[in-house]
Structure 1
Amino acid sequence: MSPIDITETYDLVVVGSGWFGLAAARAYIQNHPHEKIAVLESNETVGGTWSKARLYPGLKSNNMLGSYEYPDFPMDPKVYGVSPGGHIPGAVLNRYLTDFAAHFGILQRLQFQTTVSIVEPTPTDGWRITAETPNGQKLIETSRLILATGLTSTPNMPVYAGADQFDKPFFHAKDFCTMAPKLKGTKNAVVVGGAKSAFDVAYAMVETGATVDLVIRPNGHGPVWIAPRYVTPLKKRIDTILNVRFMTWFSPCPWGGEDGYPSPRRFLHSTILGRFLVRTFWKVLGGDVLAANQYDSHPELKKLQPWHPVFWIGSGLSILNYDTSLFDMVKEGKIRVHVENIDRLEPGKVVLTSGHTLNADALICSTGWKKESTIKFRGLRPDDLSLKLSQEEQAFFNAQFDKKVLDMFPVVADQPELRFQPPPANPLRNYRFIVPSAFLEKRNLAFAGMISSVSTAICAAAQGMWISAHFDNKLDRVARTREEVVQEIMLHTQWGKWRYPCGYGASLPDFVFEGIPYVDMLLKDLGLRNHRKDSFFAELTSPYTPQDYAGAHDEWYDKNALVK
């Protein structure tokens, strides 16, 4: 390293100011009001996915009012102008997260346009950070480090033959907002992808007067499962029904018993009758969505029908949150669907493998994200951020815990037939999906938000509290032996490969009905009550929302008799 002076030193640095970074910063600041803390953010505003630079036209949350807010900072409809049952506009979420940061003293500790490129350990068990800023490179040292860069930071951009000759706007959906001025007057746009963001971009382009060709790879994951706001014959909100405790029992989950009801889970997943009920539950849930969307009503709309049963999908499940009908745009020919690969680009044209040529004034790729971090670690051995196992040991444990998962949950053995080659299972093997095992005793490093969950706000708040308590060695329970750590991490991470092969399960934790049991587990580690409803009936049937966890941080604070 070149001899650059350390410009700043801190007790804690948080990298990232999305939902998880802000929650982690809030918990730590409240527990350590006199420590020196910095939050580094590469964008010009807070929010991560909801930063101003990423707020493309019409962007809204999948969640509706009441399910996408921090427990101790309610999104008041009078303040933010969102009606009950309404989806939250992106600009409102940016404002809300900025207000949260200001209210809890985070904003004054934020350093914007500061991109972390290198992290390396110091001889004193701290961390040295190299960051790029508009004024050049600077070095930062900190005793503790929370990496909350999230899962949607680095675009997965496809490479096409002839791209250098295309001579039209060609970019990832992440840059849709900043590229908007160059899209004025666009008559024909090509959007690549079958995920919700592809649908959003296609919808937004039609709203501006363009005709859209939506290209979905035939050897990919296929069109996203997208549901109406209200599902099941009882017409319940889909963004909260996933957090109804008795319904979480129908999803095979190795930490499910943390909710305090292991018996119904054992019955549902360990008996023939129980597994029949599980399959019926998911068939009814998926069938309700398919019937509501009426894919069979039009040949073009039929192309958007998901390829795999909803049981296997994971947190990619989305909601129809548009002001007008997306499906009508398809029926009217304003969005034309092509299930093909792109062969090459030509000047102002996209050529498909069939030879069909699409006129394109713009090519927008909603092609997902690279799950690996762009931050480089130096001074660590290759296995320091994993389980520190040899290849032979890892293969042995993979086989052992594959068998254990299948013994616990036979229903996942009947895997779906995929149209794509699944990547080798190489998940992030962190304790509680947060801390690499090599750093459990050092208590100086944590990853926040390296999970994909439909219960973002609740999981973010719980992880933030857990990380702060872990750093201070104030968790009520934690695996103490190497064997306990390896056993738990392997079970929890190997489960993902089997549970969500059509989602992110092979590479990172993917939660749908698993989010509330995960929060149960973290709250129990903290010594807090996880049953937070007023009655047994409500505990089982009333959806958990952020409001149910209001005051949890103060409960932990008072329990540990911290000096305010």
Structure 2
Amino acid sequence: MTSTTSIPDYDVVIIGAGISGIGAAHYLRTEHPTKSFAILESRERIGGTWDLFRYPGIRSDSDLYTFGYEFKPWTDPQTIADAPRILEYLHEAVADDNLADTIAFNRRVTAADWSEAEQLWRLTVAHTDKTGRKKPDTVTARWIFSGTGYYNYDEGYAPEFPGQDSFEGQIIHPQHWPEDLDYKGKKVVIIGSGATAVTLMPSMAPDTEHITMLQRTPSYIMSVPREDPIAKATMRLLGDDRGFRVNRQRAILQQKALYQFCQRFPKAARKAIRKVNAMQLPDGYDVDTHFNPPYDPWDQRLCAVPDGDMYREIRHGHASIATGKIATFDTTGIQLESGEHLDADIIITATGLNLQLFGGMALSIDGEPVDPASTIVYRGAMMSGVPNFIIAIGYTNSSWTLKIGLLCEWFCRVLSHMDGGGYTSVRPVAPAGMGTRPMLDFDAGYVKRALHLLPKQGVEEPWKTTMAVSHDVKNLRKGAVDDGFLSYEKAEAPLRAPA
């Protein structure tokens, strides 16, 4: 096909000013300083997840040596860091690269249509502030980098429970935490057993009369140091830059070793984790009921508790765990199928999140809708048949940002290849008849609920979405950017001059 390119408003539009979007902006600023880009953020502040969620104790569940950026050393003593520290780090990253003027706040991209004739994306951008402006803007870009993650940040997963309208207390979802919630001296029940629940329980316990984590299914929960003494000593000895690099590499290897051990020896891993659980709980505690998941370690993400804070609150009698199915809510709490009743003044539904690709943006090519579920992901970075579009999804078995950094490096190498060859677009072309499987091969509930919406991954390289840093270093950092699966296109002279 012959096309005649137009000059876009930007070379790249980055959607989302969270950890992925800010990282992408850094790589563009440093690797392609002549390219124009803008970050469109639907909220009024940067930070994404770390600014949106305001529930007590919110923190990372990965070490910041790997969850932080490779290009910006993490120097805070907290290895497992709370949200305020992570936000401060992100603000510093924005300042370091002078990115503030590239961010447009209160701008939600609702649709993006690729024009084959003009070789650019035409984005429909709604205003989300309270200025009263209703007419959306139109922005054009050669590339879209979707740094929105895969969660729906407007609405969490909130199943309907029998009888919940009869409960006379408060029902709170962590995604919409009230700033003025008063739980001091009250009985609290948290429904859930994931990362949010194990964060909330120890954070709230000292101020409540009692707090109970009600789980239908237990999770694997491991104690990790909030401040790593080896990491701190390394930083003192080697300095911030060298110490950070050493700590980062050590953390990558530790994550890899733990994951591989759990995958290869699940019975031994289960036994070891439960033994550690028992050592930190009161004598005679029912570990077999409350810490015995029906799945193998790392079939779902392991939950981290800094310095064993959850175990400490259980030992002190401030918190407890109940395992069972809900029969019904009633006026004073929750009745379980076992007959046990959990009294509550406040019920927190830490039941998870909903998945949503691209922040809910509708994609089309020349007006024809793109169904992401019908595409196959190439190198975990692009969707088959979709030109000039990066999908930024991190690892599920280690730190999210490790993958994002490598993906940004690959993206910059593709841009260099296109500049050198005079190309205006590139799209992956999947082999006909190749087998597929889910892109996120993960047993978590939020993934299972959304499999029908997500792209697929292939069963052959480079169509596999790997979760191994070493593999992606080879393929994203060092692999070819013209391997026969990418279709590059050159266009004729511009239709119009740039503004």
TM-score, reference length from structure 2: 0.73
Contact 1:286 / 1:309 at 8 angstroms: preserved in 2?
no
Distance in 2 separating the partners of 1:473 and 1:504: 37
Among 115, 124, 130, the alignment partner of 2:108 is 115
Is 1:74 the equivalent of 2:73?
A: yes
Is 1:303 the equivalent of 2:289?
A: yes
Q: CA deviation at 1:113?
A: 3.2
C-alpha change, 1:188 and 1:240, in structure 2 (3 Å) is farther
Q: What code does the residue aligned with 2:85 have?
A: V
1:368-379 to 2 correspondences below 5 Å: 368-373=352-357, 374-377=359-362, 379=364
C-alpha change, 1:473 and 1:344, in structure 2 (3 Å) is farther
Distance in 2 separating the partners of 1:112 and 1:352: 45
Q: What code does the residue aligned with 1:515 have?
A: V
Among 215, 218, 221, the alignment partner of 1:223 is 218
Q: CA deviation at 1:202?
A: 1.5
Distance in 2 separating the partners of 1:283 and 1:130: 51
Contact 1:20 / 1:448 at 8 angstroms: preserved in 2?
yes
Q: CA offsets per residue over residues 469-528 of structure 1, 9 Å max, x none?
A: 33454599xx998454874xx56x45864xx4458776478999623323332112368x
Contact 1:431 / 1:485 at 8 angstroms: preserved in 2?
no
Equivalence for 1:452 = 396
Q: CA offsets per residue over residues 241-279 of structure 1, 9 Å max, x none?
A: 67329966984xxxxxxxxxxxxxxxxxxxxxxxxx997
Equivalence for 2:3 = none
Corresponding pairs, count = 427
Q: CA offsets per residue over residues 170-191 of structure 1, 9 Å max, x none?
A: 2322233xx1422343511111
Q: What code does the residue aligned with 2:290 have?
A: L
Equivalence for 1:90 = 83
Distance in 2 separating the partners of 1:103 and 1:224: 39
Partner-residue secondary structure (3-state), 1:116:
strand
Q: What code does the residue aligned with 1:47 have?
A: G
Partner-residue secondary structure (3-state), 2:322:
strand
Distance in 2 separating the partners of 1:33 and 1:43: 26
Equivalence for 1:394 = none
Equivalence for 1:147 = 146
Equivalence for 2:408 = 464
Is 1:360 the equivalent of 2:355?
A: no
Partner-residue secondary structure (3-state), 1:30:
helix
Is 1:321 the equivalent of 2:275?
A: no
1:242-321 to 2 correspondences below 5 Å: 243-244=252-253, 251=260, 281-294=265-278, 297-308=283-294, 310-314=296-300, 316-321=301-306
Q: CA deviation at 1:317?
A: 1.5
Distance in 1 separating the partners of 2:332 and 2:341: 10
Q: Which has the higher strand share?
A: 2
Partner-residue secondary structure (3-state), 2:252:
coil
Q: CA deviation at 1:92?
A: 0.7
Q: CA deviation at 1:210?
A: 3.7
Partner-residue secondary structure (3-state), 1:61:
coil
Equivalence for 1:174 = 175
Distance in 1 separating the partners of 2:276 and 2:466: 21
Partner-residue secondary structure (3-state), 1:517:
helix
Distance in 2 separating the partners of 1:347 and 1:465: 55
Q: What code does the residue aligned with 1:170 have?
A: I
Contact 1:437 / 1:485 at 8 angstroms: preserved in 2?
no
Q: What code does the residue aligned with 1:158 have?
A: P
Q: CA deviation at 1:153?
A: 3.6
Contact 1:61 / 1:89 at 8 angstroms: preserved in 2?
yes
Q: What code does the residue aligned with 1:27 have?
A: Y
Distance in 2 separating the partners of 1:250 and 1:181: 40
C-alpha change, 1:245 and 1:159, in structure 2 (3 Å) is closer
Distance in 1 separating the partners of 2:271 and 2:466: 18
Distance in 2 separating the partners of 1:193 and 1:475: 50
Q: CA deviation at 1:200?
A: 0.8
Distance in 2 separating the partners of 1:302 and 1:156: 28
Q: CA deviation at 1:61?
A: 2.2
Distance in 1 separating the partners of 2:476 and 2:332: 52
Distance in 2 separating the partners of 1:107 and 1:58: 28
Q: What code does the residue aligned with 1:128 have?
A: L
Q: Which has the higher helix share?
A: 1
Contact 2:147 / 2:392 at 8 angstroms: preserved in 1?
yes
| Identity over aligned pairs, percent | 19
Contact 2:53 / 2:175 at 8 angstroms: preserved in 1?
yes
C-alpha change, 1:504 and 1:180, in structure 2 (3 Å) is closer
Q: CA offsets per residue over residues 199-234 of structure 1, 9 Å max, x none?
A: 1111122022341122212xxxx222122337xxxx
Contact 1:313 / 1:503 at 8 angstroms: preserved in 2?
no
Q: CA deviation at 1:65?
A: 5.0
Q: CA offsets per residue over residues 363-412 of structure 1, 9 Å max, x none?
A: 21211221233514154545543445xxxxxxxxxxxxxxxxxxxxxxxx
- Structure 2 regions of 5+ residues with no counterpart? 1-7, 233-246, 421-425, 458-463, 482-499
Q: CA deviation at 1:91?
A: 0.7
1:475-554 to 2 correspondences below 5 Å: 482-484=429-431, 487=434, 490=435, 493-494=437-438, 497=441, 500-501=442-443, 507=451, 514-525=468-479
Q: CA offsets per residue over residues 319-344 of structure 1, 9 Å max, x none?
A: 2214x641243345432322223344
Q: What code does the residue aligned with 2:478 have?
A: K
Contact 2:290 / 2:322 at 8 angstroms: preserved in 1?
no
Contact 1:434 / 1:450 at 8 angstroms: preserved in 2?
no
Contact 2:198 / 2:303 at 8 angstroms: preserved in 1?
no
Partner-residue secondary structure (3-state), 1:364:
strand
Equivalence for 2:244 = none
